Amino acid sequence: MVKVTAAEVNKLRQATGAGMMDCKKALVEAEGNFDKAIEVLRKKGQKVAEKRADRDSSEGAAVSKINADETAGVAIVLGCETDFVGKNENFVALAEQLGDIALNCKTKEELLDADFEGMTVSDKLTEQTGVIGEKLDITAFERLEAPFVGTYVHINKIAALVALSAKVDKAETLVKDVAMQVASMGATTLSFKDFDPGFIASETEARIAVIEKDNIELGRLGKTLKNVPSYISMAQLTPEVVAEAEAAAKAELKHEGKPEQIWDRILPGKMDRFISDNTTLDQEKALLDQKFIKDDKMTVAKYIETYGNVEVVGFRRVSVG
């Protein structure tokens, strides 16, 4: 049997991340040949990967990278099977390395075919599947390009990218704040204007049905009923609808005996409440129409306006699980 030294085992371990005994066995099988030992470990990884192909890579690490001139960014998730592995320092370091490579790729497929120290990223994932004993995969890949791109990563579980139309003063603060909003609130589109009319109609029907069902139970328990909105998006609040709501608010004030000369002080609050109650879809799904998490007295759109002539032109979000 070929004898292998501790230095040779350590060299292979540093190159592959495999355990000491696995490296020793691979070197013995390869009769001391370093490159053949790597191939032995890779084949082991392939066998493990085949056995675990149907496993769910629902844990992992989310990372993002921005290029030097801050005009492009990528966010990826390196998936694994357990949270224990997902939090491992070496696993997160591997995710960071893959993020650096991803920055030069346009798609997930291009990333998997990219070079990783003499092998493809796909082969590296297979190798590490054998080392770690869990299925590894790139479970999310997003790329964004614009005049200015920034990012925010939340404890390696969520990564968000935000693109601005221009680099303005304190753009770094703006883009980080909006990226935190994306990470926290999970918007799916920029504005209510992006919603398809059919989607709004079906969502309206579904949401009203849920509230009405909840109200049956609340009524049975003698509790306060939830407000049943007529609308859920600003896209539905036509000038006619708003005018009708304002007329109803004035009628209510008159019925309450409020002097007409003070209506102008009361009406804005009532109309704000009407819009808030009837734009729940926008507040949940449309980034610019959400209440800003750092100051819920304004929307994200209003916060962006404080930075002058700049717009958010896109965003991406990836998450573990």
Q: Are 252 and 144 found together in one domain?
A: no
pLDDT of residue 26: 80
Question: What is the domain extent for residue 35?
Answer: 1-39
Task: Tell me what pLDDT residue 45 has.
Answer: 65
Weakest-pLDDT range from 191-200, 257-266, 311-320: 257-266
Residue 164 located in a structural domain:
no
Residue 297 domain-assigned (yes or no): yes
The answer to whether position 185 is within a domain reads no
pLDDT band with cut points at 50, 70 and 90 for residue 47? low
Let me know if residue 44 belongs to a domain.
no
Q: What is the DSSP letter of 287?
A: G
Last residue of a domain, one of 156, 174, 204: 156
Angstrom CA distances, 35 to 7, 15, 26, 118, 286, stand at 15, 11, 10, 11, 52
Give the model's pLDDT for residue 175: 96
Q: Give the containing element (helix H, strand E) for 164.
A: strand 158-164
- pLDDT greater than 90 at residue 200: yes
- Residue 165, pLDDT above cutoff 90: yes
Judgement on whether residues 104 and 28 belong to the same structural domain of the protein:
no
Report which of residues 25 and 138 the model is more confident about: 138
What predicted TM-score, i.e. pTM, was given to this entire model? 0.79
What is the pLDDT, as a whole number, of residue 283?
95
At 55, is the pLDDT very low, low, confident or very high (cuts 50, 70, 90)?
A: confident
**What percentage of residues in the chain have a pLDDT greater than 90?**
72
User: Residues 202, 231: one domain?
Assistant: yes
Q: With 80 as the cut, is the pLDDT of residue 46 above it?
A: no
Phi/psi at 52 (5° precision) = -110, 15
Whether 183 is covered by a domain: the verdict is no
pLDDT at position 131: 79
- Name the least confident of 44-53, 92-101, 247-256: 44-53
Q: Which residue has the higher pLDDT, 228 or 178?
A: 178
pLDDT computed for residue 12 by the predictor: 77
Judge if 283 and 244 occupy the same domain.
yes
Same domain, yes or no, for 306 and 219?
yes
Q: 43 pLDDT exceeds 80?
A: no
For the record, the structure tokens of 253 come out as: 């004030």
Q: 16 and 103, same structural domain?
A: no
29 plus 107 within the same structural domain: no
Judgement on whether residues 149 and 261 belong to the same structural domain of the protein: no
CB contact at 8 A, 288 and 300? yes
pLDDT at 20 over 80: no
**What tokens were used for 188?**
């799916």
Number of folded domains that form the chain = 3
Question: Mean pLDDT throughout 71-93?
Answer: 94
Q: Is residue 151 part of a domain?
A: yes
Whole-number pLDDT of residue 30: 81
CA trace torsion 15, 17, 18, 19 (10° rounding) = 120
- What per-residue string of b and e applies to 74-104 under the rule 16 or more CB within 10 Å gives b? bbbbbbbbeeebbbeeebbebbebbbebbbe
- pLDDT of 298 above 70: yes
Same domain, 35 and 80: no
The alpha carbon torsion through 205, 210, 212, 214 (nearest 10 deg) reads -170
Q: How confident is the model at residue 24 (pLDDT cuts 50, 70, 90)?
A: confident
Q: Would you list the DSSP string of 250-279?
A: HHHHHHTT--GGGHHHHHHHHHHHHHHHT-
When pLDDT is cut at 50, 70 and 90, the band that residue 1 belongs to is low
Q: Do 272 and 238 share a domain, yes or no?
A: yes
The answer to whether residue 13 is domain-embedded is: yes
Look at residue 49 and tell me whether its pLDDT is greater than 60.
Answer: no
Q: Which CATH number covers residue 67?
A: 3.30.479.20
Q: Is the Cβ–Cβ distance between 283 and 203 less than 8 Å?
A: no
Please, which pLDDT band fits residue 53 given cuts at 50, 70 and 90? low
Q: Do residues 143 and 214 share a domain? A: no
Q: Cα(277)–Cα(275) distance, rounded to whole angstroms?
A: 6
Residue 262 maps to a domain:
yes
Q: In this predicted structure, which of 180-184, 275-279, 304-308 has the lowest mean pLDDT?
A: 275-279
Give the model confidence (pLDDT) of 119-153 as tens digits.
Answer: 899 989 988 888 788 889 999 999 999 999 999 99
- CATH number of the domain residue 20 falls in: 1.10.8.10
Q: Tell whether 4 and 68 lie within a shared domain.
A: no
